[in-house]
Amino acid sequence: MSNCKVITLTNQKGGVGKTTTAVNLGVTLAQQGKKVLLIDADAQANLTMSLGYHRPDDLQVTLSTIMQDIIDDKSVDVAQGILHHSEGVDLLPSNIELSGLEVRLINAISRESVLKTCVSEVKKNYDYVLVDCMPSLGMLTINALAAADSVVIPTQPHYLSAKGLELLLRSVSKVRRQINPPLRIDGILMTMVMPRTNISKEITATVRSAYGQKIKVFDTQIPHSIRAVEATAEGKSIFAYDKGGKVAAAYEQFRKEVAELGEKQRKQNRADRIR
């Protein structure tokens, strides 16, 4: 599947719904018949646990195992580490070993492209690869940006979350200039939105006016809901836990926006090749 799109979900601010978005976007894409791989690029293994693997440290092969093999120039079989989830997505899991790997990356040859090498091994088997990043702008996040075609930035309508966007956008811009020129920002996704509160309205409006000229702010807003938190604790997507709820409807709407954007970009790429 040469048309595979690699999307990195990132924000250096924690607790903004990156992992929830990775799980639910992945599952709703899979429900449309797409082949989806989720990559947990966070040593806290939140994505791995959100899909029901509650003892990530017991897993034999994880992202850190594979990235270490790439650093050591050993033969790599990424498929060994991939887990198949009952909701139709595949997962390359993570555990605490990834925190040690981040330190080792600093002295590695081609240190920014280790994850890209890993993704290149398997992307032919997928329509989408979604990378869930840790809440930092360290070497692993740089690797995730270097491996990506595009970036989705989940952010809460809170003052500090909006404030941190500037730093993140500078980092994306730097990676684009120095490592991955085709990298683009798909957009900013507002998550955990309480639409009736003034602060939600004000900050969403501020983000749209500050960045909306240059960067898409998705029309979809993911509402705040305790059901989403409960689904994560159960190791399920919102579609398996509360299919008829407002969060499931919002992620389905978001999936449509992502798919439309992907189709537009594919047409543009074809037109560029013809020219």
Q: Cβ distance 94 to 40 under 8 Å?
A: yes
Contacts of 179 (CB under 8 A, 6+ apart): 112, 113, 142, 145, 146
Q: 229 is written with which tokens?
A: 């938190």
Distance CA 6, CA 23 (A): 15
Amino acid at 123: K
Q: What is the CATH number for 165?
A: 3.40.50.300
Total tally of structural domains belonging to the chain: 1
Give the residue numbers spanning the domain of 137: 5-274
% helix / strand / coil in the chain, to the nearest 5?
50, 15, 30
Contacts of 18 (CB under 8 A, 6+ apart): 9, 10, 11, 132, 133, 135, 154
- Written in H, E and C, the secondary structure of 196-244 is CCHHHHHHHHHHHHHHCCCCCEEEEEEECCHHHHHHHHHCCCHHHHCCC
> For residue 215, which of 269, 170, 250 has the smallest C-alpha distance?
170
Measured in residues, the chain has a length of 275
- The model's pTM: 0.92
Q: Cβ distance 203 to 158 under 8 Å?
A: yes
Residue 91 to residues 168, 171, 180, Cα–Cα distance (Å)? 26, 27, 24
What pLDDT was estimated at residue 182?
93
What pLDDT was estimated at residue 1?
45
Q: pLDDT 10s per residue in the chain (275 long)?
A: 468 999 999 998 887 889 999 999 999 999 999 999 999 999 999 999 999 999 999 999 999 999 999 999 998 889 999 999 999 999 999 999 998 998 888 888 889 999 999 999 999 999 999 999 998 888 999 999 999 999 999 988 766 666 678 888 888 999 999 999 999 999 999 998 887 777 777 877 878 887 777 889 999 999 988 998 899 888 899 999 999 999 999 999 999 999 988 888 777 777 766 76
Distance CA 213, CA 196 (A): 25
Q: 240 is written with which tokens?
A: 């398996």
